[in-house]
A = this chain, B = another copy of it.
């Protein structure tokens, strides 16, 4: 007999039919009620066992975490909280789960404890819900771009280019690590390395994506990127997934429109497709915050917050306006900020971004036209000669979720900038070719996928929204 998923059964009209399901035992109460889950939904199906008809030794094996196969009749439920249940006719224990050693017991485990059990934590309601939302969100990303005429580009992970300058890189090599070959100059002979040159893990696919945008028009990447930075925070990972659209002929305004429309669309998509998981995660957050002082609790329940972002315009503010707001703000005047904003040109710290988003505007904010000095070489210089067409999107509770810009399309301006920063022009020959042959205005942005998942799920630590987090001193599994 074909087996069904629990999600199918709970939303079906199969009542009074014979069904077969497989799953894992969540709980087994009163030697009679098995709450069974197969991962297809947050909801369990109740399976009612008439214990007099089953061997006691068999029922002993029905413990939390055991895999079972159940056949029986789907009937309307007698109990509260569920529409249907299964009257069990056949019960097979496929794999036991010793209650004395199985770490995932039906009680509250700390998120820290579960991080040590990353291979099992997805068996908890919280992580299963987070990972289902993550999966749906990742599909929403592809769906949005593909429906809007973008082409997905797989930019390289191993790169011989080190000019991106977005952060510290991991080296990739097959050379003997203990005794690497040296050349005549006494330096490591990378000609003997696998790729015949020094290679690293990419920090961004942007530069390569630009080459594709200048041919296919609208493209996006969605792949892993890496930072070898010793940042042990709740917002940083050494390995994370990034989404980078790049669009020929888009200026910065169109770029901001795209980013805002994109974020709203994917949030609406999960509101529609993950209603039950989001409801569970909303309640989880409420429970978690009960022990916190009122001032540290979320302003809105999770789903309301997601709807708020999906339905309201992001506030667009120039860097210059933002500096004025910050300079005259109470925490700046009362020296409550760790970094006091003294003058135009200052780099904004997390505390400033949070003030703008959470205290001042109370909504997502797009900051644009930053000082050239604090931004990357490829961003387009404004006519004022001192700001560039950069934009960051700041989210409540998350901080920077998007960083983007209009790219410098003018060869002479770009060359001058590269010289100024001492970047090797030879390294960027192919990037400069884009400005030599058919150059045009173009823009793009990068969105850290895990930060979006953090926001969407209400989780507090980025290590809890990716299956197997990579952080300093941690690459287990």
Contacts and interface: CB of A to CB of B under 8 A. Distances in A.
Nearest to A25: B438
Interface string A188-210: 10000011110101000000100
A249 interface: yes
Contacts of A165: none
A215 B438 contact: no
Given A5-B217, A139-B152, A178-B180, A199 B158 contact: no
Given A38-B217, A154-B467, A7 B149 contact: yes
A239 B96 CA distance: 40
A468 B208 contact: yes
Interface residues of A, number: 108
Contacts of A173: 170-171, 173, 177
A215 B168 CA distance: 35
B439 A67 contact: yes
A123 to B, nearest CB: 4
A317 interface: no
Interface in A424-477: 430-431, 433-441, 466-468, 470, 472-477
A86 to B, nearest CB: 16
Contacts of A182: 178
A25 B438 CA distance: 9
Contact of A201 (B69, B159, B172, B437): B172
A245 B138 CA distance: 16
A430 B131 CA distance: 19
A472 B194 contact: yes
A135 B119 contact: no
Contacts of A211: 118-120, 122, 477
Contacts of A195: 238, 470, 472-475
Interface stretch (A45-53, A97-105, A293-301, A353-361): A97-105
Interface string A204-230: 000010011011111000011010100
14 contacts: A40-B217, A40-B218, A94-B439, A94-B440, A95-B409, A131-B153, A154-B241, A156-B470, A158-B470, A160-B475, A170-B172, A170-B174, A194-B472, A195-B475
Q: What 6 A-B pairs have minimum CB-CB distances, sorted nearest first? A: A95-B439, A39-B216, A195-B475, A39-B217, A160-B475, A135-B151
